[in-house]
Amino acid sequence: MKTCSNFIILIIFTCVFTPASAQFKVDLEGGVIPNTKYNRVRIPANGGTQVNLSDELNSKTKVFYRIRLGYTFAKRHNILLLYAPQTLKYNGSFNRNIDFNGQNFTAGSPVDVYYKFNSYRLTYRYNFIEQGRWQVGAGLTAKIRDADVRFKNEITDTHYDNVGFVPIVNFYACYKPNYHWSFLVEGDALAAKQGRAEDIFAGTSYQINSSLGVKLGYRVLEGGADNDKIYNFNWVNYISAGILLSL
């Protein structure tokens, strides 16, 4: 905790005492989630019934949004704060009895499932290439996940929530052929024995003027965890658009 506190103090100190050449950025992103390729859940990991919510229940196209604040100083150093809420809703009935979180949901009975996966991230990234038309960087992200899976029918209402910290590698690559247009790939990703996490955006942006730009692209969120308490892996597809503000 002391190391984390020192890191936050360093960020605040840097923001306050950096010269006027530093730049603040706001990235407002939104769009639709046309589908989830899969969302496999088994709780508890030992004893629960594994289900694929995307295949076994119905879901509707959902609107999403996320907000990211950025601070660039000395041209190459970037600090980013991200808030990315997400709740997916499923409904229908299973064709077999399901054991979820110690409760039984019988085959054929209507059930609603609420899948929440909110993300809060603090990122430091260094652009090690700042030359010509290219900008490439990498760094580290401290991610807090706020997850909850809820199964509900007329008789039973049960859920399993989980809040945890995950360190992830951040990366960024941008090619800018002219002042207005940019093509970029960026995201956070890391894999380990206990699970993996990937949140990747690929698309293009158009700079209208020095303060305003827009972006359009495709985002993929994939990953999950496999431990003694929970088994869950999901793949979510996004069609994404955004407004880019430079202050």
pLDDT by position in tens, the chain (length 247): 444 444 444 454 444 554 545 799 999 999 999 989 999 999 999 999 999 999 999 998 899 999 999 999 998 999 999 999 999 999 999 999 999 999 999 999 999 999 999 999 999 999 999 999 999 999 999 999 999 999 999 999 999 999 999 999 999 999 999 999 999 999 999 998 888 999 999 999 999 999 999 999 999 999 999 998 999 999 999 999 999 999 9
Query: What CATH code would you report for 2-246?
Result: 2.40.160.20
pLDDT digits over 125-170, tens only?
A: 999 999 999 999 999 999 999 999 999 999 999 999 999 999 999 9
User: How does strand 103-105 pair with strand 111-131?
Assistant: unpaired
pTM, two decimal places: 0.88
CA distance 168 to 190: 5
Extents of the domains making up the chain: 2-246
The answer to whether 202 and 185 have CB atoms below 8 angstroms apart is yes
